Structure 1
Amino acid sequence: MASVFESVAKSVVRELDPKGGLIPVDSLWSSSSFRPYCLLARKLSSSWFWKPRYQCLNLSIRDILEPDAPEPDVERDIPFHIKDCVDGELQVKVELKALGQGKLAGGAAASASARASVSALRLRVPPRAWEAMSKERRLRRPEHKILQQVQRCGRDLFVVTEVLQTQEDLEATRACKQEGSGQFSLPGALRMLGQGQGHLNQEKTVTIPSGSTLAFQAALLVIGPDWEIYHIPSKNQRTFPLPKKDRKPASGLLSHISLSYFKMRLPSASADIVSDGDIEDQMPVTEDFQGLQVEAKVHADGLKDLSRELCGQMLAGLGQALREEQALEALEEALEQGLCCGGPVPPDAPGGAILECLVSSSGEVEEELARPILYLVQALTGLSETQRVLLAEALETGDLSRQLQLVHSVLEQSSPWQERRAVSLPQELLGGSWDSEAPAWVLLEECHLELQEDVPQVSWRPEAQGRTCALYSCLALLVPL
């Protein structure tokens, strides 16, 4: 069952801000960290198909400015109240009779409900506050250490300008119930009768404390001779100017990958992809499923030369990291630092078993191998904890190929992803069972998709794109390993 807190946050944002200005908070644990004026580092993404993630730094903008003084007060909008209740029920009965041969009958019922009553308030930093601060306060000298760390990793800094906060404790509940029954009779000398029934009930209730942040907005913090806030930054604007050297930070995306990787043919292209300039500008990666396939294949090709021994070591290390979110994030940071800053990787760096496969005899990261692994790790951190545990279990059994085909089918049928639609699921890819306990069901449900059991299908929604694409990329790189 998907995260109740995340579902509430996304539901409120869809109601208040359907154009997507507000960013939903993805976990109750981090909801207390997002406050007006707090600093965020945005983790760079190796993909065009899922959004970069924001990381709270437990610092306010006042911590990097002088003189040290409280930030100006925020504006408070009129409170609002949203009550969201959804109930659904489906019943099916089937009876088959064959003359002189017996009878087979069965029935199934499924119901689901979600309930939440939200009282919230929008807190916003007024524009005049930024104007006053920019005139009265300067960057600390020497600069705060956090600025140096963020710059070394090639990340951008943002400052929270607006939040959506709960005004009182709220209790959110999601529940689903499934029941089934069947009976049969077979005539003959030995008359056979049989019947059976079963049920499954699931319910999850979460109490969200008053003052929790459900969503936020952030503005880019640009550091030059001094500091500025950009609410609508240009595409190429960065917190820190790019260094004037050949090596770019990890945000360069596909521009870092060897040209040999791009000697591949698009499904509908008439010529091989060859670029003599900046690959990021010239490679025809489109923002659809074909583009995602190209992107994933490029990175998967980068791992083809790994020996069987190294593949086994890599998979063992990933299987362990998948069960520990902090270990996965630490591995991501170590890879970013190794790729962005160069130099040897510390021997005690996190993800030792994986890094051993990616480090040369001199202790430096092998870029040709490390970049595809960073792409994979970033995709994994974009999944939910439940999805990562399921992938770890599937790695142990080697049962990933069918899941890849299933996600492939969903993304292919739902394109263009900006439209809601019903997507049928191929029966042969569902295995022996298709219900809320099946791993394939949970993997898709955690992507914020609505699933049906009686007629296997998915209700596609645009907000599912990021996590579904990340899941596809994870599987596309893990299956060949």
Structure 2
Amino acid sequence: MPSMFGRTTKKLVKEIGDQELRPVKCLVSATKIRRFSLIQRKKARSRFWQLPDVPLDVSLMHILEPGSSVPDAAVEVSADFSDTEVMKQQAAGSVNAGAEAGFSEETAVCRGSSLEYQIVSTPHETWTELQKRKLPDPEPYFLKQCREAGVNLYVVTETVELRNSPVLQDHSSMNISGKFSIPLNIFVKGEGQGGGLKVREKKLTVPKGSVVAYKRKQLVFKEKDWGIHHIAEDDDQETFPAGRVQKALGLGADFKLLQEEVSQKVKAAELSKDMQNIVFSNLLAMLGDREALQDLMDKLEQEPFGHLDGPGGTILTELQKDSCYSGVVSKCLILYLLETLMVLSDIQHVLLAQSMEKRILLPQRDLVRSILEPNFNCSENTPFTLQPELLAPLQGEALAITYGLLDECGLKMELNSPRSTWDPEAKEPLCALYGALSVLSQLAEA
């Protein structure tokens, strides 16, 4: 399940109804993003997903020549949003034929939030005045770095800011009775008889002034001039144009292209058994630490490699021992894998770590394939049923972990049912999950 903060911001954006608004997914970003802040997005090594936005500690004002104060008559619209969700679910019996049955489970979840917010937008006149400012000569070192790295930059044009300091609440309880020898969900493990009640309550206070959603427009730099794509977001454009832009795949793409892309990455690398083991074990140690994964990505993209301590440093050290060609293709595979992980959520990282430890990556990959392949170009919500033979190797806790991975992609999975509904918005994270499981299962062979 998503974090309390991410779940709340997503619901708020859906309620506001503006498709250009992007929910802020973590509290750290909520305190960094402001109007005129710069957002970085690196180009993905795949056509099937995009890397997440990364807010920077740099604003548009930092990269322009100083000028007179800009008349910024920001437009503010205030509103309130209150949301309470109560869910109750009962389950009985067994989800796998091999486990001892005879249990009943009743789960109740109550979530609530009450937000007072304002939408702050920037009038067109402000942008007109700002574009009278020139870029310094020589260009700021920050821009030079971005140009060399080939990243795209965006500027925040509108924010949804909190006028209060809300307390987000998540209260859940689980009542279990009977005899059981399987985990009923990823939080309850073990074997026992009788009954039990588990209560969990979480609260999160969000600071007043936090930005919970934003709009951003792409910056474009050509020689000494700069501009903004005002009309619409166009991720096919380049912040630093250097020639013909490769368009993303549209509806003509199918699952086979994704399968071929992943297969080519794996075959090209041909890592030694020792290297496979080193990458697998050290990535396992890093899952759950998004910052460490991002640091490893950044250091791998440097020439020569940057320095890191810990598991990431071990991977870098081993890569430097490889021959020139072998090191390059190995680096490409590891960067591709890291990209898939950056698309996935923090909760999926924890679940993937459990999958790696249980060595269930291959059946999980096959299950994800069975969902993606027939629905790849489906643009409507469509019911589907998971194939029993693919569920057979995933029982008990392994099934709960797998359903958690799918649920985080946007598919509504119930532990005691193989049925779900395809959601087109789940396609991108499912593609990334398929890529991650494919590469990790190959590494696990060591």
The interval holding the TM-score normalised by the smaller chain is 0.7 to 0.9
What does residue 310 of structure 1 align with? 275
> Which residue among 105, 109, 121 is the counterpart of 1:112?
109
Match runs of 1:339-358 below 5 Å: 344-346=304-306, 351-358=312-319
How far is the alpha carbon of 1:169 from its aligned partner? Answer: 1.4
Match runs of 1:88-103 below 5 Å: 88-91=87-90
Deviations 1:396-426 (A, max 9, x none): 4433223223333343465445333444344
How far is the alpha carbon of 1:384 from its aligned partner? Answer: 2.1
In structure 2, the CA distance between the partners of 1:108 and 1:118, relative to structure 1 (3 Å rule), is same
How far is the alpha carbon of 1:471 from its aligned partner? Answer: 1.7
1: CA distance between counterparts of 2:300 and 2:194? 54
What does residue 127 of structure 1 align with? 124
- 2:214 match: secondary structure: strand
How far is the alpha carbon of 1:479 from its aligned partner? Answer: 0.3
1:148 aligns with 2:144: yes
- 1:169 match: secondary structure: coil
- 1:419 match: secondary structure: coil
What does residue 396 of structure 2 align with? 432
2: CA distance between counterparts of 1:31 and 1:149? 25
How far is the alpha carbon of 1:439 from its aligned partner? Answer: 2.4
The structure 1 segments of at least 4 consecutive aligned residues displaced by more than 6 Å after TM superposition are 360-365
Match runs of 1:440-479 below 5 Å: 440-479=402-441
Deviations 1:353-399 (A, max 9, x none): 32345447687884433222211111112222232233234334433
1:165 aligns with 2:161: yes
- 1:328 match: secondary structure: helix
2:64 and 2:134 in contact (8 A); partners too:
yes
1:177 aligns with 2:173: yes
2:113 and 2:169 in contact (8 A); partners too:
yes
1:44 and 1:53 in contact (8 A); partners too:
no
Structure 2 counterpart of 1:207, which letter?
T
Deviations 1:157-179 (A, max 9, x none): 11111111122112222344333
Structure 1 counterpart of 2:139, which letter?
E
Moved more, 355-364 or 26-35: 355-364
What does residue 271 of structure 1 align with? none
- Which runs of no fewer than 5 residues in structure 2 stay unpaired? 94-100, 181-191
- 1:475 match: secondary structure: helix
1:64 and 1:144 in contact (8 A); partners too:
yes
How far is the alpha carbon of 1:147 from its aligned partner? Answer: 0.4
Match runs of 1:129-278 below 5 Å: 129-135=126-132, 137-182=133-178, 196-224=194-222, 225-231=224-230, 232=232, 236-242=236-242
2: CA distance between counterparts of 1:378 and 1:353? 19
In structure 2, the CA distance between the partners of 1:63 and 1:92, relative to structure 1 (3 Å rule), is closer
Identity %: 32
2:171 and 2:200 in contact (8 A); partners too:
yes
- 1:472 match: secondary structure: helix
1:336 aligns with 2:311: no
Tell me the TM-score normalized by structure 2: 0.82
Structure 2 counterpart of 1:111, which letter?
A
What does residue 321 of structure 1 align with? 286
2:107 and 2:175 in contact (8 A); partners too:
yes
How far is the alpha carbon of 1:120 from its aligned partner? Answer: 1.6
- 2:360 match: secondary structure: coil
2: CA distance between counterparts of 1:416 and 1:177? 39
Structure 2 counterpart of 1:353, which letter?
T
When the two chains are superposed, the root-mean-square deviation of aligned CA atoms in Å is: 3.3
1: CA distance between counterparts of 2:199 and 2:363? 28
Query: Which has the bigger relative contact order, CA under 8 A and spacing at least 6?
Result: 2
- 1:181 match: secondary structure: strand
2: CA distance between counterparts of 1:129 and 1:63? 16
1: CA distance between counterparts of 2:39 and 2:416? 44
In structure 2, the CA distance between the partners of 1:218 and 1:93, relative to structure 1 (3 Å rule), is closer
2: CA distance between counterparts of 1:148 and 1:349? 27
Deviations 1:9-59 (A, max 9, x none): 1111122236x3111111111111111101111122112322332222211
How far is the alpha carbon of 1:472 from its aligned partner? Answer: 1.7
What does residue 42 of structure 2 align with? 43
1:74 and 1:124 in contact (8 A); partners too:
no
2: CA distance between counterparts of 1:134 and 1:173? 44
Structure 2 counterpart of 1:146, which letter?
F
**Aligned length in residues:** 419
How far is the alpha carbon of 1:130 from its aligned partner? Answer: 0.8
In structure 2, the CA distance between the partners of 1:401 and 1:219, relative to structure 1 (3 Å rule), is same
1:319 and 1:395 in contact (8 A); partners too:
yes
Structure 2 counterpart of 1:39, which letter?
L
1: CA distance between counterparts of 2:418 and 2:442? 28
Pair member with larger Rg = 1
2: CA distance between counterparts of 1:287 and 1:238? 22
1: CA distance between counterparts of 2:401 and 2:422? 19
What does residue 272 of structure 1 align with? none
In structure 2, the CA distance between the partners of 1:443 and 1:200, relative to structure 1 (3 Å rule), is farther
Deviations 1:244-281 (A, max 9, x none): 9xxxxxx97xxxxxxxxxxxxxxxxxxxxxxxxxxx89
1:110 and 1:176 in contact (8 A); partners too:
yes
How far is the alpha carbon of 1:62 from its aligned partner? Answer: 0.9
1: CA distance between counterparts of 2:318 and 2:378? 37
What does residue 187 of structure 1 align with? none
Deviations 1:80-103 (A, max 9, x none): 222222223234578xxxxxxxxx
- 1:450 match: secondary structure: coil
Deviations 1:413-454 (A, max 9, x none): 65445333444344424312478xx32233233334433233
In structure 2, the CA distance between the partners of 1:346 and 1:29, relative to structure 1 (3 Å rule), is closer
- 2:409 match: secondary structure: coil
What does residue 75 of structure 1 align with? 74
2:360 and 2:394 in contact (8 A); partners too:
no
Tell me the TM-score normalized by structure 1: 0.77
